[in-house]
């Protein structure tokens, strides 16, 4: 326990010393002046190497340089305060409140810890939060897996992600992708990524990934697919339009997609875009006798085939 405290003290003292210095500190200066470097030269050396790694793990950037670039003299170290410190520029009390609200969306979800520590840092700037009306129904992010961190790291570095994915016909297959976008919609998380097998952009739903996600370094350049916008990352290419009769006051979840609505009395006739024939068949079957397909024939035939199967199985 004691040695653990000593190590922590040493790491903090090293941070302070490297931050406070206006010039590079050499290793021998560090060993001489920073408290905690003891033992043989090799021990100190090992300690220092480990400490540098540890600080980097904490996201603290240590700059290596030398006093005189013309001479190959001993390397020196420092931490630039502009890199160490949070710099959000001018920030208003309202902005602080908005950031706090943004962080609170993570309550109980995957990045709750990161959100919490971000808030502590923001509260340490010394700008008080504004009392903007914090609504009770503030949006919440759905409980997602710890994998979000891996995914966002891969997006930032254009690294590969490898995982097993449950396909629509229940086959679990290995995928290797380069992700370029992450989004959440209606409680589900999606990754947009370039599937390395087919070299095409695909959308993956996070809860369909089986087991863990592995990140693999990508050394090649990666060009972001340009056609995706900031919004609407989950784009399906439309396969035409269906004409469907829906009973008055019914089939609300189909009506929300209607491109047009015509009043037929007891029924309305709507047109909806077809984004995947099978999922439209499912929606039509869900609504039972309140929905009747007029066009296209392909859709009608699929619906009829499913109904026949239902009659045979349950009759």
Binding residues among 94-153 for another protein as defined by CB under 8 A: 94-95, 98-99, 101-106, 108, 111, 114-118, 120-126, 132, 135-143, 148-150, 152-153
Counting contacts by CB under 8 A, is residue 163 touching another protein? no
Exactly one of 227, 252, 263, 266 binds another protein (CB under 8 A); that residue is 252
- Site map 25..54 versus another protein, x via CB under 8 A: --------xxx------------------x
Least distance (Å) between residue 292 CB and another protein: 6
Q: Which residues, including other chains, have CB under 8 Å from residue 12's CB and lie 6 or more apart?
A: none
Counting contacts by CB under 8 A, is residue 241 touching another protein? no
Distance (Å, rounded) from C-alpha 76 to C-alpha 59?
19
Q: Contact region for another protein (CB under 8 A) — 37-45, 70-78, 182-190, 262-270?
A: 182-190
- 265, HSE (Cβ side, Cα atoms, 13 Å): 1
Q: Contact region for another protein (CB under 8 A) — 66-74, 194-202, 265-273, 281-289?
A: 281-289
Query: Considering only residues 192-221, where is the footprint of another protein by CB under 8 A?
Result: 192, 208, 215
Counting contacts by CB under 8 A, is residue 297 touching another protein? no
| Radius of gyration over every alpha carbon of the chain, rounded to an integer in angstroms | 29
- Identity of the residue, 71 or 248, whose beta carbon is nearer to another protein in the bound complex: 248
Distance (Å, rounded) from C-alpha 312 to C-alpha 315?
5
Spatial CA neighbour of 182 closest among 138, 219, 230: 230
- 202, HSE (Cβ side, Cα atoms, 13 Å): 16
- DSSP letter, residue 159: -
Least distance (Å) between residue 79 CB and another protein: 10
Residue matched to tokens 């003891």? 38
CB burial of 47-61 (b: ≥16 within 10 Å; e: otherwise) equals: bbeebbeebeeeebe
Least distance (Å) between residue 223 CB and another protein: 12
């Amino acid at each position: 326990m004691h040695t653990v405290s000593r190590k922590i003290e040493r790491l903090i003292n090293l941070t302070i010393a490297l931050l406070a210095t206006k010039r590079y500190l050499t290793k021998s200066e560090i060993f001489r002046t920073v408290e905690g470097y003891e033992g043989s030269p090799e021990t100190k050396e090992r300690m220092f190497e480990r400490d540098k790694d540890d600080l980097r793990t904490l996201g603290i950037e240590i700059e290596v340089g030398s006093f005189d670039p013309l001479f190959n003299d001993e390397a020196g170290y420092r931490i630039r305060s502009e890199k160490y410190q949070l710099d959000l520029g001018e920030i208003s009390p309202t902005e602080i409140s908005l950031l706090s609200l943004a962080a609170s969306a993570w309550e109980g979800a995957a990045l709750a810890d990161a959100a919490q520590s971000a808030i502590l840092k923001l509260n340490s700037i010394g700008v008080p939060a504004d009392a903007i009306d914090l609504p009770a129904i503030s949006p919440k992010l759905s409980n997602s897996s710890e994998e979000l961190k891996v995914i966002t790291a891969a997006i930032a570095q254009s690294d590969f992600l490898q995982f097993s994915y449950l396909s629509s016909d229940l086959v679990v297959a290995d995928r290797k992708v380069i992700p370029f976008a992450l989004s959440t919609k209606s409680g589900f998380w999606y990754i947009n990524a370039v599937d390395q097998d087919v070299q095409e952009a695909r959308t993956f739903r996070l809860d369909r990934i089986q087991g863990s996600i592995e990140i693999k370094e990508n050394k090649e350049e990666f060009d972001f697919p340009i056609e995706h916008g900031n919004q609407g990352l989950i784009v399906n290419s439309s396969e035409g339009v269906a004409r469907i009769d829906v009973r008055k006051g019914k089939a609300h979840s189909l009506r929300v997609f209607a491109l047009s609505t015509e009043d037929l009395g007891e029924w309305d006739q709507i047109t909806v875009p077809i984004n995947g024939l099978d999922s439209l068949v499912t929606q039509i079957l869900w609504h039972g006798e309140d929905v009747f397909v007029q066009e296209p024939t392909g859709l009608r035939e699929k619906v009829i085939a499913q109904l026949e199967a239902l009659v045979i199985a349950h009759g």
